[in-house]
């Protein structure tokens, strides 16, 4: 019908003009239909890509899938995605560039790209006008688009889309790329969030297991080693050392991790010291090299572990104090009957296995009741403490001196292995008891009755040794009283 109308028109300028308008209109309609079809196809493809990406939990895998899809959607020869991380910008995905062609400095981008503002996240134009990294010059790129990948106000990285043919990215391409990059950034952000959440869940489980294991520890050195190891493994720190307040000059009791400065001195700004506290008391400190930045997740975890370490060390020190109190005489600090019994049984088992000698020496102060009655219990306590110190000085470094109660003491020796050596030790102990105690009113001298028992007398039986030594001590006391009356 249009052709018939055209044939009916008279020849001349007006007819030519109408035909030209019809031709332009038809071209515009065809272009609009083609653009609409292309946009619909891209939108459909993007929806499919987003659907697939929604099931991908890894940001690098997300970026890798994106590179290939964007290349097909926009007829690009090269697509590359840079993502930011702890090591700075790195090429997380690329299409059209062999992996072996990526240089070591591939993460370095031109300043003009890094300066892309959030309000204008795309930069498009011919190569030369739009900056490119030098290593891409060999690919003879003609048209380039840089896109800033941003989600929730955080810069995630950049994407490059480039063609080797001089076919410019038109306004519709740029608009669609802007929409695509927004969806891509959301997908990458979701992937990172998923990975971070999974990592945090795994870390939380490890920390729960560590906390339960740490809570069962009572040895301070074991606690320090476990604490240093977990901090080095979980916080990204370098070298971690644990120092205890009770051992200020002994150096660290535990060390873990590796310092980035090697054997040289670390930079002062890379070293932090965190106190190990509990209940207002400081049990020690953590010294951390290459510590995570302040207010970061690693820093929060580091401080949490320091608090946990302080609580567990406090519990271990409390347990050690209680254990010492349970095994020590409150007045003299010597081993009590319970600790002496434990050491006697352990020493007998070891001696019996090797056939070694062992002796038990009982010591009972003579006339101690009279000291309490005439000079008072405070002086009596001073005398007991003085005798305890003297007995410890007279015994060997491996001997155990214990107070059984009242004015009774006992010595376990594994150094005096023969009866004659044990008798010589007994004489030294008796002489040590007679060392005078200086008081404001003069000197006070004690005397003691001593009984000796060896494995040669009783065998490797704890009860028999104790009974024999006790009987020998009382026999000696009766002899001394009889001699005094005679």
Question: Within 216-336, where are the H helices?
Answer: 220-234, 297-327
Joined together, the tokens standing for residue 205 give: 């489980």
pLDDT at 228 over 70: yes
pLDDT at 165 over 60: yes
Percent of the chain that is helix, strand, coil (3-state, to 5): 55, 20, 25
Q: How buried is residue 328: exposed, middle or buried, by Cβ count under 10 Å (0-12/13-18/19+)?
A: middle
pLDDT at 189 over 60: yes
Q: 22-31, 277-286, 421-430: which range is least confident on average?
A: 22-31
Beta-ladder partners of 90? 83
The tens digit of pLDDT for each residue in 101-110 reads 899 889 899 9
The tens digit of pLDDT for each residue in 337-380 reads 999 999 999 999 999 999 999 999 999 999 999 999 999 999 99
| pLDDT given at position 431 | 94
| pLDDT given at position 266 | 45
The tens digit of pLDDT for each residue in 8-26 reads 555 557 777 777 777 777 7
What is the reported pTM?
A: 0.51
H or E element at residue 392: helix 377-394
| pLDDT given at position 262 | 47
| pLDDT given at position 33 | 63
The tens digit of pLDDT for each residue in 216-226 reads 888 888 888 88
| pLDDT given at position 472 | 93
236: left (phi over 0), alpha (psi -120 to 50) or beta: left
Give the SS3 label for residue 170.
coil
pLDDT at 112 over 80: yes
| pLDDT given at position 39 | 62
| pLDDT given at position 144 | 95
| pLDDT given at position 5 | 47
Quickly state the pLDDT bin for 284 (edges 50, 70, 90).
Answer: confident
How far is it, in rounded angstroms, from Cα 423 to Cα 347? 19
How far is it, in rounded angstroms, from Cα 39 to Cα 170? 13
């Amino acid at each position: 019908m249009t052709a018939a109308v055209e044939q009916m028109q008279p020849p001349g300028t007006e007819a030519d003009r109408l035909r030209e308008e019809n031709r332009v209109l038809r071209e515009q309609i065809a272009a609009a239909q083609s653009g609409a079809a292309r946009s619909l196809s891209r939108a459909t493809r993007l929806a499919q890509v987003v659907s697939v990406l929604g099931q991908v939990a890894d940001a690098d895998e997300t970026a890798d899938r994106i590179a290939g899809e964007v290349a097909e959607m926009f007829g690009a020869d090269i697509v590359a995605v840079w993502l930011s991380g702890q090591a700075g910008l790195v090429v997380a995905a690329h299409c059209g560039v062999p992996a072996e062609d990526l240089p070591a400095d591939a993460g370095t981008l031109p300043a003009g790209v890094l300066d892309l503002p959030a309000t204008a996240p795309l930069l498009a134009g011919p190569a030369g006008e739009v900056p490119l990294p030098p290593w891409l010059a060999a690919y003879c790129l003609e048209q380039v688009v840089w896109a800033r990948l941003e989600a929730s106000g955080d810069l995630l990285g950049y994407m490059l889309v480039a063609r080797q043919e001089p076919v410019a990215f038109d306004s519709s391409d740029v608009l669609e790329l802007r929409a695509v990059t927004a969806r891509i950034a959301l997908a990458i952000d979701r992937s990172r969030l998923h990975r971070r959440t999974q990592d945090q869940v795994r870390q939380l489980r490890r920390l729960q297991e560590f906390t339960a294991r740490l809570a069962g520890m009572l040895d301070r050195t074991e606690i320090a080693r476990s604490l240093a190891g977990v901090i080095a493994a979980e916080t990204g720190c370098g070298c971690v050392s644990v120092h205890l307040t009770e051992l200020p000059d002994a150096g660290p009791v535990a060390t873990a991790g590796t310092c980035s400065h090697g054997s040289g001195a670390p930079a002062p700004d890379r070293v932090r010291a965190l106190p190990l506290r509990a209940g207002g008391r400081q049990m020690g400190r953590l010294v951390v090299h290459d510590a995570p930045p302040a207010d970061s997740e690693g820093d929060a975890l580091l401080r949490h572990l320091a608090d946990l370490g302080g609580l567990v060390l406090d519990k271990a020190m409390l347990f050690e104090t209680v254990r010492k109190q349970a095994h020590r005489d409150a007045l003299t600090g010597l081993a009590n009957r319970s600790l002496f019994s434990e050491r006697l049984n352990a020493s007998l088992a070891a001696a019996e296995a090797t056939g070694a000698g062992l002796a038990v020496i009982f010591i009972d102060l003579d006339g101690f009741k009279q000291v309490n009655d005439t000079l008072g219990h405070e002086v009596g306590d001073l005398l007991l403490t003085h005798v305890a110190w003297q007995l410890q000085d007279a015994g060997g470094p491996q001997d155990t001196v214990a107070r059984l109660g009242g004015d009774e003491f006992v010595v376990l020796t594994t150094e005096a292995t023969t009866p004659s050596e044990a008798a010589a030790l007994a004489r030294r102990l008796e002489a040590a008891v007679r060392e005078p105690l200086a008081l404001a009113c003069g000197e006070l001298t004690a005397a003691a009755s001593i009984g000796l028992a060896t494995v040669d007398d009783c065998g490797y039986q704890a009860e028999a040794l104790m009974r024999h030594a006790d009987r020998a001590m009382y026999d000696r006391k009766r002899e001394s009283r009889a001699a005094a009356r005679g």
